[in-house]
Structure 1
Amino acid sequence: MSETIPFTPDIAAGRLGSDALSRNFDDLHPPLERHEALVESDRCYFCHDAPCMDACPTSIDVPLFIRQIGAGNPTGAAKTILAANIFGGMCARVCPTETLCEEACVREAAEGKPVKIGMLQRYATDHLLEGGAHPFIRAPETGRRVAVVGAGPAGLSCAHRLAMLGHSVTVFDAKPKAGGLNEYGIAAYKATRNFAQGEVDFILGIGGIELRQGQALGRDLHLGDLARDYDAVFLGLGLAGVNALGGEGEGHGGNHDAVAWIAELRQTAELGSLPVGRRVVVIGGGMTAVDAAVQAKGLGAEEVTIAYRRGQEAMNASRYEQELAQKKGVAIRCNLQPKRILASGGHVTGIELERTRIEDGRLVGTGETVTIEADQVFKAIGQSFAPDGVSAEAAALELERGRIRVDARRRTSMAGVWAGGDCISDGDDLTVVAVEDGKVAAKDIHAVLTGATRLAAE
């Protein structure tokens, strides 16, 4: 049951002027200038058995592209990057390089200051993308048709690779814009100036890809029909479900899904028109929690708190992201799990949380509670796979841990159907991992369609 506390909710638009909003949502990291890129590229040891390559899920040849930058060939560097990761521009902006390639950098181990691989990758890809010319040429038409469901990183990565190999691809997506979480789920200050749509246009520039929007699986199209009408199907469905807090009072006004709110912010033409509370609490410990908290602060919220149920060292958000939030004025409070939403007149006035601790390796509540006043509460506690669109094929399409089961080639249990990205059982909430899934699936689809391997092969 909700409890009334002596607090009047205060949610308003226009808390900050246009100049302040422009600063708060400007590019988080200004791009490197040419001289800066040359100086930084000179720091690379060009390791023969480069650990940075092993740490990259898409296996970009990092030493090669950095050497190409140093030689004054950013276009060649971009081609090296995009051959492995067609979303190299976005990944340069959003990848947690501090826990991937840069953490593995030999200079990080030697002196605690890795080569700025992510910034160099952005320098190269921006140079090519701004030129507009597509660096790859399609192979001759194979006459084969592939359906891709989902125009996110996994789906578009798969579609691009298949189109480059000469297949005709139709991409179906439920949203009005392509890009998936790159368009709807990335913090606005990480991908500014409509970069996500520009990258989608670049990817589609290979040719041979038809995009059909407003098409939802299970509503407008069905997996069985696609499997019948196309030579192969790839599912890049993402995660449409939202995990519940599990506490009381979730239905009150001012209680939001962080992913949906970030999507709304990304699609808002005038940031000053977006209401935000004076006091905001975000529940969760991942990148989405940080993105929601920092953007709430950027819109003018005076007090923003991230509440996480475990210790700070267990947060899924990287240490860099945590420090970014704290530098922006966000408070991070740990070992607090939500118990109930407090409300007055049907609107959130705060949240009651229970202190937690680890006992015998398990998280347990202590019984002690803490109340934080809030006008808005955002839940960023993960998403779940919504199997509605594939439920009719449940007997043929096996799930594992609530998501689609695939093998190492991203083949599902349903003949002629592959899957990748967040919707698969081994999916990871990273753009770069989804891109690799799409690429791996495309290569296997191509091998099957050209007879290089059999669909039933081990």
Structure 2
Amino acid sequence: MSTSQHTPGVVPGRLSETELETNFSDLHAPYDAHEALVAADRCYFCHDAPCITACPTAIDIPLFIRQIATGTPEAAAKTIFDQNILGGMCARVCPTETLCEQACVREVAEGKPVEIGRLQRYATDTVMAAGVHPYARAPETGKKIAVVGAGPAGLACAHRLAMKGHGVDLFDAKPKPGGLNEYGIATYKTVDDFAQAEVDWLMKIGGITLQSGKALGRDLTLGELSEDYDAVFLSIGLAGVNALGVAGSEMKNVMDAVDFISNLRQAKDKREVPVGRRVVVIGGGMTAVDAAVQSRLLGAEDVTIAYRRDKAAMSASEFEQKLATAKGVRILYNAQPQRIVGNGACEAVEFAYTETTPDGLRTTGETRTLPADQVLTAIGQTLTGTPDGLALEHGKIAVTGAGRTSLPGVWAGGDCALGGEDLTVTAVAEGRDAAEDIHASLMGV
């Protein structure tokens, strides 16, 4: 064990390289061929399968599982990719426990669903490991589309458009493509630089030119894009973060959980990533859980997620909450931050206890103070840099149908657009469907 594990403050190297390698190993080990056959054999292959309805990309799940069961994982992967070109990532990060697996007939009857996510990973990994790309481009249409944002929605849109024979220029503000898949997902869910490998595989379709370091509003304007391209698809994500808005939030070692996760994701050596001894994460979503669990895995002794509402209102899934507690994270419900205490650097966080009443959330008058040498805030992200002329609704780009915005020739999807559930799989569906609508609009079909 590293001697710095018990050191106060925010420091790197709390654990050894071996400990970190173990801690950040694959959350769910992949199936081997025999395990996949056994798991596939549990599927009833329902005719009116509720799992398909529960999948935002409507993958024909019984079909791909039957294809695995008959020894043709390549065909299974094609069935998956036809609906979800990022099926490999979704197999790793989808909250299957609240989507397809929750709807599984065996879950309803026995409390143990078919492990659809792991079967999907087995099929997609088989094809990707072979370096095979199962699609070819249609003849060139002469049309050119700008896709702004290389996250899940943008990648799915770009691939489908390229497959239709269109030329695509894919712009992204970051140095690397992938969006949240690259920068915002817990490292133990996507080991071995899978996000980049998946993008490289997707780009084998051809017809897509990636331009990194190009941000809308800074390097690109919507007006210029609309003039230069036949259509524009915006998948710019949510680049802003909500402010904590309490006294002391400007202190040293108070940071956005999104930045913490991104720094860890991009670190070449996890021993270089500093983490506190006592960490408090404020928020109740997936980002809060990812930040808290990874703090523990980096060697933090005491990690608490503080959420201002009750357990039922927490947006992180039951599985994720259980994962956090299994890793030693404490979850404190009904705790609303009041101020951060410290002298230049944070030392503690004061919370007010809350309760839900018919008139909404209110504080009870009781308070509690938690020691903290690092505070990570995960209280939501916001849309920034929206071009003039785009109608907004509830702080996101307003869309109708398959992502049509208020401006002709401009579509939007993913987290920046109204609707959906802020999930990778939902973003993929929106990008795919927008591409189909763009194609139909451009080609008059």
The TM-score normalised by the length of structure 1 is 0.95
Q: State how far apart, in whole Å, the 1-side matches of 2:108 and 2:357 are.
A: 34
Q: How many residues align?
A: 439
1:426 aligns with 2:431: no
Q: State how far apart, in whole Å, the 2-side matches of 1:274 and 1:147 are.
A: 36
Equivalent residue, structure 2, for 1:194: 193
Give the letter for the 1:77 counterpart.
A
Equivalent residue, structure 1, for 2:438: 445
Give the letter for the 1:131 counterpart.
A
Give the letter for the 1:429 counterpart.
D
Is the CA contact 1:9–1:349 (under 8 Å) kept in the aligned structure 2?
A: no
1:292-314 residue CA offsets vs partner (Å, 9 max, x unmatched): 00000000000000000111121
Deviation at 1:361, TM superposition (A): 5.2
Unaligned runs of 5+ in 1: 1-7, 453-458
Q: State how far apart, in whole Å, the 2-side matches of 1:399 and 1:145 are.
A: 26
Equivalent residue, structure 2, for 1:126: 125
Equivalent residue, structure 1, for 2:4: none
Equivalent residue, structure 1, for 2:397: 404
Deviation at 1:389, TM superposition (A): 4.4
1:321-364 residue CA offsets vs partner (Å, 9 max, x unmatched): 101000100001100011111112x1000100100001115111
Give the letter for the 1:68 counterpart.
Q
* Structure-to-structure mapping, 1:31-46, within 5 angstroms: 31-46=30-45
Equivalent residue, structure 2, for 1:456: none
Residue from 365, 372, 377 that aligns with 1:374: 372
1:207-263 residue CA offsets vs partner (Å, 9 max, x unmatched): 000000010101111000001110000000100010111211111001010001100
Equivalent residue, structure 2, for 1:262: 261
Q: State how far apart, in whole Å, the 2-side matches of 1:104 and 1:81 are.
A: 18
- Greater shift in the superposed pair: 288-297 or 243-252: 243-252
Percent of counterpart pairs with the same letter? 63
Equivalent residue, structure 2, for 1:94: 93
Is the CA contact 1:68–1:76 (under 8 Å) kept in the aligned structure 2?
A: yes
Q: State how far apart, in whole Å, the 2-side matches of 1:11 and 1:241 are.
A: 25
* Structure-to-structure mapping, 1:166-245, within 5 angstroms: 166-245=165-244
1:358 aligns with 2:353: no
Q: State how far apart, in whole Å, the 2-side matches of 1:74 and 1:214 are.
A: 37
Give the letter for the 1:417 counterpart.
V
Deviation at 1:10, TM superposition (A): 1.5
Deviation at 1:9, TM superposition (A): 5.2
Secondary structure in 2 matching 1:189: helix
* Structure-to-structure mapping, 1:141-152, within 5 angstroms: 141-152=140-151
Q: State how far apart, in whole Å, the 2-side matches of 1:201 and 1:389 are.
A: 29
Is the CA contact 1:285–1:381 (under 8 Å) kept in the aligned structure 2?
A: yes
Q: State how far apart, in whole Å, the 1-side matches of 2:244 and 2:33 are.
A: 48
The TM-score normalised by the length of structure 2 is 0.98
Q: State how far apart, in whole Å, the 2-side matches of 1:113 and 1:27 are.
A: 22
Q: State how far apart, in whole Å, the 2-side matches of 1:425 and 1:28 are.
A: 31
1:246 aligns with 2:239: no
Secondary structure in 2 matching 1:107: helix
Q: State how far apart, in whole Å, the 1-side matches of 2:396 and 2:247 are.
A: 28
Give the letter for the 1:221 counterpart.
L
Equivalent residue, structure 2, for 1:384: 382
List structure 1 runs of 4+ shifted beyond 4 angstroms. Answer: none
Q: State how far apart, in whole Å, the 1-side matches of 2:421 and 2:54 are.
A: 15
1:415 aligns with 2:408: yes
Equivalent residue, structure 2, for 1:157: 156
* Structure-to-structure mapping, 1:270-289, within 5 angstroms: 270-289=269-288
